[in-house]
Amino acid sequence: SPPPFTVHATAGPFISSSAEPRPATSGTSIMSDTDLPSLVKKKDHLGVLRYIRTHKLREPDLVIEHGKALLGPELTKNKPTSNPVLSIILPISSALDESEWLAALEQLCLASIDVHDDELASTCLSRIKTAVSPDSARVRWLLGRCLESSGDLAGADEVYEGLLKDNPANGMALKRKYAILRSQPGKELETREALNKYLELNSGDAAGWAELGDLCHDMGDYRAATYAYEEVVLASPLNSAAHCKLGELYATVGGRSNLKLARKHLAQSLELDPRNMRALFALVAAAGAYLDECSKAGKSKREAEEDDVEVAKELVKFGAEKLIKAYQGKGRMAKLIEIVMKDQTGSL
């Protein structure tokens, strides 16, 4: 069987244990400081692919364009040439070592899936299989992605189940199982269960918690959504959008205690990004809703929350003033905002 491969930060996920290090050529150094437009302009195909991999960009059209230009002849070969003489007279793609060749092929395969070019994706996968065992976890994962792209969700799910049988902590397989369920209407509960299973093993994944929060929101389970977004805020305390979303969720759940939490997170969102108009509108609404709740409470409860009531009044005034100023000169919208904000502050 072929030698094992490991993840390599610069050359891509495939690297053979037998691959020899190669000196970098001009214009294609792995850690080049050149920006992407310059590499594209110079038609440095290898440099473009490396740059996109290193910076984790999603540019499928660029990858396909430069991947084809780099690997064109190699897509029909079993593996790159290792003859040093031929490396000089053949195009640069023929001078690639096995690890760089595999990394470029995988990158091109995933980009093809992104634009639904199933034929090109299948060709890339076939070439990868000539150098790496089809039983490899990475190759099986790519096979699952190709099956998903072609619409064979059952086949893809079977591949991922096999990967999880070998390694229950395989994060890539868990993510793809969730993605398959998420794409199918009527499977919300199974989707949530799949995402919970992933987060049990990857509790530090802020994007995963945000996905769970959005899923719970779509299902109408706002309390669970607030729990998920609390995890997002813990992982990303300087994320203005996360604070804004969490504040909106607390306001949706309602009740005096939740409305106080809502205004806290909305105020924090504005502290991080003063231009966040969504947070500003939500702050006025949440503080106003808190005042309404307090007005319905008994005298003893109103007195107990007297300080919070004064804070809420000031927040409504602050938000209304900022919004009126932000929409000045916007025609009819400015007049509408002024009417709404005066209605919010009229009784204060």
Q: What is the mean pLDDT of residues 222-249?
A: 97
Residue 2 has pLDDT above 60, yes or no: no
Query: According to the 3-state scheme, what is the secondary structure of 190-230?
Result: HHHHHHHHHHHHCCCCHHHHHHHHHHHHHHCCHHHHHHHHH
Measure the CA–CA gap between 179 and 296, rounded to whole angstroms.
45
pTM of the model: 0.78
pLDDT category of residue 5 using cuts at 50, 70 and 90: very low
Measure the CA–CA gap between 56 and 69, rounded to whole angstroms.
21
Residue 1 has pLDDT above 50, yes or no: no
List Cβ neighbours of 61 (8 Å cut-off, separation of 6 or more). Answer: 111, 115
pLDDT category of residue 75 using cuts at 50, 70 and 90: low
CB half-sphere exposure, 300, CA atoms < 13 A: 0
Residue-wise pLDDT for 265-292, tens only, equals 999 999 999 999 999 999 999 999 999 9
